């Protein structure tokens, strides 16, 4: 693990962002600051429209903040994307339907190949096999279930060994049974490939299950209301759900969310 590096991970400082035309701008992010250390799993949770995706997109280099800075491993986001240091898992798998599973996972290698030098590229086959997709390498996305497609999308984000992983509600389209399996699969994989992870979710149990810290955001304008530590020991298994610590944490997070939502309606 490279926790020794002083700048490793994500550093968001005082980021503000407004949308809309001149004169009718709405503030979506208001002075947001957040650091995610190398190897740390941070979930972001909050009411719909509070700016979670916007925050994630500023870290991904898809949106420029109006003010404030975002640094990834001590570099600007722009430099970080140039070096392919950011893996993105969007809300839908967003696979190319005309390419096989294997070719979809190879995409990050094919694109921007200059940044492939000096990095620990993984074998796409191996990574897919470890995701339980060994039998699906030569299938097309249309032949896979939603859960399998999402796993391919995660494999695509891991395969080029980025230092930061950004996931925007990757499991939200799946049914509850499937979601649990995907969470545990992700956790399993991440446990042996510790990246800095920013994970946007609407599910409290999901956030607790996966994270080291949970960032609760409030809306109007989007801000960080509270950061909750999740001191549950790792590796975590499905048994965590049944523990008292888990239930206490769940109560705490839900209470914080209620406060945040209450503010909104007041």
Ligand X SMILES: Nc1ncnc2c1ncn2[C@@H]1O[C@H](COP(=O)(O)OP(=O)(O)OP(=O)(O)O)[C@@H](O)[C@H]1O
Q: Are 85 and 163 in contact (CB under 8 A)?
A: yes
Specify the residue, 189 or 221, whose C-beta has the smaller distance to other proteins. 189
Task: Residue 134: name the closest of 152, 118, 112, 121 by CA.
Answer: 152
Give me the least distance between CB of 113 and ligand X, in Å please. 30
Region binding ligand X by CB under 6 A among candidate stretches 49-57, 134-142, 187-195, 236-244: 49-57
If you search the block for the tokens 């839900």, which residue do you land on?
254
List the one residue from 12, 34, 45, 60 that touches other proteins (CB under 8 A).
60
Chain centre distance of CA 14? 20
List the one residue from 43, 53, 81, 83 that touches Mg ion (CB under 5 A).
53
| Residue 261 interacting with other proteins (CB under 8 A) | no
Give me the least distance between CB of 216 and ligand X, in Å please. 12
Give me the least distance between CB of 34 and Mg ion, in Å please. 16
Give me the least distance between CB of 266 and other proteins, in Å please. 35
- 224 beta partners: 217
List the one residue from 62, 102, 228, 232 that touches other proteins (CB under 8 A).
62
Contacts 24+ apart (CB under 8 A), 71-76: 71/7, 71/10, 71/11, 71/13, 72/9, 72/10, 72/11, 72/163, 72/164, 73/5, 73/7, 73/8, 73/9, 73/163, 73/164, 74/5, 74/6, 74/7, 74/8
Q: At what angle do helices 146-158 and 176-192 cross, to 10 degrees?
A: 20
Question: Rounded to an integer, what distance in angstroms lies between the CA atom of residue 21 and that of residue 197?
Answer: 33
Q: Considering CB distances under 5 to 8 angstroms, the limit depending on partner class, which of other proteins, Mg ion, ligand X, none binds residue 244?
A: none
- 214 beta partners: 43, 228
Specify the residue, 68 or 90, whose C-beta has the smaller distance to other proteins. 90
Q: For strand 164-168 and strand 196-200, is the pairing parallel, antiparallel, or unpaired?
A: parallel
Give me the least distance between CB of 179 and other proteins, in Å please. 11
Give me the least distance between CB of 265 and ligand X, in Å please. 16
Tell me the per-residue interface mask from 198 to 237 with other proteins, x by CB under 8 A, - otherwise.
-------------------------------------xxx
Question: Rounded to an integer, what distance in angstroms lies between the CA atom of residue 247 and that of residue 263?
Answer: 24
Q: Are 18 and 27 in contact (CB under 8 A)?
A: yes
List the one residue from 9, 32, 36, 51 that touches ligand X (CB under 6 A).
51
| Residue 132 interacting with other proteins (CB under 8 A) | yes
| Residue 137 interacting with other proteins (CB under 8 A) | no
Tokens of 4: 């020794």
How much of the chain is helix, strand and coil, in % rounded to 5? 40, 25, 35
Binding site for Mg ion (CB under 5 A): 53
Binding site for ligand X (CB under 6 A): 19-20, 28, 48-54
Binding site for other proteins (CB under 8 A): 57, 60-62, 81-82, 84, 86-88, 90-98, 107-108, 110-112, 115, 131-136, 139-145, 147-149, 151, 156-157, 160, 166, 178, 181, 184-185, 187-188, 235-239
């Amino acid at each position: 693990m490279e926790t020794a590096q002083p700048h490793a991970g994500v550093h968001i400082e005082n980021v503000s962002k407004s949308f809309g035309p001149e004169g009718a701008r709405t503030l979506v992010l208001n002075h947001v600051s957040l650091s995610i250390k190398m190897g740390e799993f941070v979930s972001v949770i909050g009411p719909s429209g509070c700016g979670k995706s916007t925050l994630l997109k500023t870290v991904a280099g898809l949106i420029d903040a109006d003010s404030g800075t975002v640094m990834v491993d001590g570099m600007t986001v722009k430099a970080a994307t140039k070096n392919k240091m950011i893996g993105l898992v969007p809300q839908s798998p967003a696979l190319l339907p005309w390419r096989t599973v294997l070719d979809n996972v190879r995409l990050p290698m094919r694109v921007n190949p200059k940044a492939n030098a000096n990095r620990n590229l993984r074998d796409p086959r191996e990574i897919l096999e470890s995701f339980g997709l060994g039998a699906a390498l030569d299938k097309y996305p249309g032949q896979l279930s939603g859960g399998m497609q999402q796993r391919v999308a995660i494999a695509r984000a891991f395969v080029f060994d980025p230092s930061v992983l950004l996931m925007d509600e990757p499991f939200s389209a799946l049914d509850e049974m499937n979601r649990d399996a995907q969470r545990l699969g992700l956790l399993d994989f991440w446990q042996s490939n510790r990246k800095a992870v920013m994970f946007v979710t609407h599910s409290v149990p999901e956030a607790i299950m996966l994270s080291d810290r949970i960032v609760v955001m409030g809306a109007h304008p989007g801000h960080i209301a509270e950061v909750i530590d999740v001191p549950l020991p790792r590796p975590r298994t499905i048994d965590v759900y049944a523990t008292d610590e888990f239930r206490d944490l769940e109560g705490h997070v839900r209470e914080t969310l209620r406060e945040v939502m209450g503010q909104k309606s007041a």
